[in-house]
Amino acid sequence: MRAIVAGGTDGRGGGEGPVLVYLHGFASLPEDQLPLRDGLDVPAGTRFVFPEGGLGVTLAEGPRRAWWLIDRPLRRRMRAGAIDALSHHRPPGLAAARVTTTRLLRAVERELGAPPERTVVAGFSQGAMLACDLALRSERPYAGLGVLSGTLLAESDWGPRMPRHPHMPVFVSHGRADPLLPYAMAERLAARLRAGGHPVRWYAHDAGHEMTEGTADAFSAFVYESLLAPSR
């Protein structure tokens, strides 16, 4: 799996600082996430890892990457009002994405010296769903989990796993005008995580499927505090 490593003491991931692994959304690229390196207020020496999704997709602007393909029939059902169908959905490519990204996270621990307890795993949209899946299935708690414009998937799989690491902090943000992933489902995800014992920081905004300036500020504060906190 290709990944961009940035930050640290040399701008290329050097040093012994904590790590933020950030997973891009559908039809995006690791390079598109690089502004986070300079835009987030994080502890000195923090390293950034921006992995690349395993599937290629083509847009008018050119080739992009994804973690799995969009389920068009599910999208039509949601537009017809069946938003609850999303919580039962298991994307066909999720398992494969989980395997490859788990390997990358192990490499982060092995090569960068950053165990889960010193790593925040986060993502946007499709990347947020994958980040949530990875954190809930991890044998050890991460320093934090960031779910930006994500949603609740595979509820029967995720639900029983939520109490496993009850002190792992979670950041959930969503736009009230999101036309792609229902706001109500993000609220439901946050509620389920709280019920599992997680301290959830919820940030809502009035925009759509995007990271607003306010979202970036709130997420930045969450990452800063999570990476400075003692290991759980």
Q: What is the CATH number of the domain that holds 60?
A: 3.40.50.1820
The whole domain housing 61 covers 3-228
User: Phi/psi at 59 (nearest 5 deg)?
Assistant: -115, 175
Q: Looking at the 3D structure of the chain, how many domains does it have?
A: 1
If you count them, how many residues does the chain have?
A: 232
The model's pLDDT over 138-153, given as tens digits with 9 standing for 90+, comes to 999 999 999 999 999 9
Of the listed ranges 67-81, 116-130, 162-176, 198-212, the least confidently predicted one is 67-81
Share of the chain above pLDDT 90, in %: 90
Judge residue 56's burial from the number of C-beta atoms within 10 Å of its C-beta, 0-12 exposed, 13-18 middle, 19 or more buried: exposed
Among 13, 81, 80, 78, smallest CA distance to 48 is for 13
Q: What is the pTM of this model?
A: 0.96
Of the listed ranges 63-67, 158-162, 228-232, the least confidently predicted one is 228-232
3-state helix, strand, coil in the chain (%, to 5): 40, 25, 35
The model's pLDDT over 170-222, given as tens digits with 9 standing for 90+, comes to 999 999 999 999 999 999 999 999 999 999 999 999 999 999 999 999 999 99
Between β-strands 55-59 and 19-23, what pairing exists: parallel, antiparallel or unpaired? unpaired
Q: Please report which confidence band the pLDDT of residue 103 belongs to, taking 50, 70 and 90 as the band edges.
A: very high
